[in-house]
Amino acid sequence: MKKMILLLILSMTLISFIEIISFEFIEHPIYSSPLTGASKVDAEDSDNDGDIDLLSGVMNDTGQKVTLFHKNLGGGLYAEPLTIHITASLSKLTNQIFFDYNGDDFPGVLIAEENSSAPLILYLNNGDGTFQTTPVVLDDNSEDVSAIYIADFDGDGKDDILYAYSGFNAQLRWVKNLGGGNFEPPSTLKFLSGDATEIKTGYIDGDSHLDVIMSLISESTKNISFFAGTGSSIGSAQVIVNDVRSLGIALGDFDNDGDIDLVYSEYFVHHVKWFSNDGTANFTNEGDIVDVVIDSPWAIKNIDFNKDGYEDIGFISSGNNTIFIVLNDENGTGNFIASPPLVVTQEKSGLVDIEFADINNDTEGIVDVVSLSSTSSEVAWYETTTTLGVEDNSLETQLILSPNPANNFVRLTNQTNIPLESLAIYDMNGRLVDIISLTNMQLEKQVDVSVLSSGIYLMKILGENASTIKRLIIK
């Protein structure tokens, strides 16, 4: 195993001292083959056991392009992979992702391909973390699918599928989810001026409809464009960034003002930049998120890596064989260059994708890193450990959550004399679910958790000069 120690000095606004955090990344190989080739990796708890499973698109040792399922047995120990799908020899595997199509926390496997008679298919989950052997064909047109994304496009409470054809017939398409594994036939939302390398959605322009942002590339088009959503269609393209070949975009509130902003990579000119949004889809160039040249950046992901309530950025540099994590500033204003980027590894050739999740389900709920490399079709995860230089941990034993497991409400009891400030709730993928103010809390506070789905959550509680993380189980 390889280790890399990095020291990051963070000035904490809630406390009067400097806190030193040491991040250590320990590599754990999961899968490799003698052959080269890989597409994407995805991370999700597919069997509702509280452990993060993986999907990878790789070349196996017999030369087949396969989608592999890696079951987490607990603690980051993965079973031998299960082959979900074999891509035909003349086809290309574009992407494979978990898709919870019926909202039961047992996602299926959605697969997109190029040069295939069925370029979009779904393997249903049997409801126990295993998958059916015959897929549901969602699109049987012989078109190339270049990108896919899951979102509740029409706002009916069920996640739908957005995907893009590439080439002469480039278009954004929508498969409406009817629930229970049933779907409407695909429909075209918009013909496109280029091939979509990324599709992302968010509430960008201030209304109640989900909007779309795509990176588009063709001989005549190189841009990142915004498309206003209506709930059943999208408007004309509004170019945010022109003359850019981007192979990675991420959406998030990077300046903590309540609006969805944009981070993107410029693959051939070696930049990762972010644009702030004023809440009406008017974007402003805020510059690079790092002050060094990044060779061939892509696979941009946003995650609250250090659990401070602010969005951070992770990405790969394929030219430098490096995985970077760039932390937001101490106030969450998007001043990413205030601290040097964290380096997870500098020794991974052929990097094509990364994901972030708590792989080993540790007590602190620390976010780990998953990597996929085309070299030797390698899947690995990097265990993140931290050492806090200065912190008051009396909250660890004297702050009580009950009942736990919980259904609708959980009672937070503070048996210390430390004033509490906030409670942040994260899911097991490290995504921020909610932030609750505790500034007026006395001895106890009842927290409504009825909107949370069944599963395991991490609750980070901040107090005056102190913090702790508690694990909460929702039945």
- Cα separation, 334 vs 35, in Å, equals 41
pLDDT digits (tens, 9 = 90+) for 330-383: 889 999 987 889 999 998 999 999 999 999 987 667 899 999 999 999 999 999
Give the tens place of pLDDT for each residue, 293-308.
Answer: 789 999 999 999 988 8
**CA–CA separation, 238 vs 400, rounded Å?**
50
Measured distance CA(329)–CA(313) in Å, rounded: 12
DSSP string covering 373-400, please?
ETGGGEEEEEEEEEEESS-B-THHHHEE
Predicted pLDDT at 392? 43
Q: Residue 6: its pLDDT value, please?
A: 37
Strand residue runs (E) in 169-233 = 171-175, 177-179, 182-183, 187-191, 195-202, 211-217, 222-227
If you count them, how many residues does the chain have? 475
Cα separations in angstroms, 172 against 190, 235, 435: 5, 12, 34
Q: What global pTM score does this model have?
A: 0.79
At position 148, the amino acid (one-letter code) is I
Going from the first residue of the chain to its last (475 residues), give the mean pLDDT of each consecutive group of 10, the final group possibly shorter.
Answer: 36 32 86 93 94 96 95 92 94 95 95 96 92 97 96 96 96 96 97 96 96 95 96 96 94 95 92 95 95 88 91 94 93 88 92 95 83 95 73 67 87 88 82 87 89 86 82 85
Q: Could you give the percent of the chain with pLDDT greater than 90?
A: 68
Whole-number Å distance between alpha carbons of 225 and 209: 17
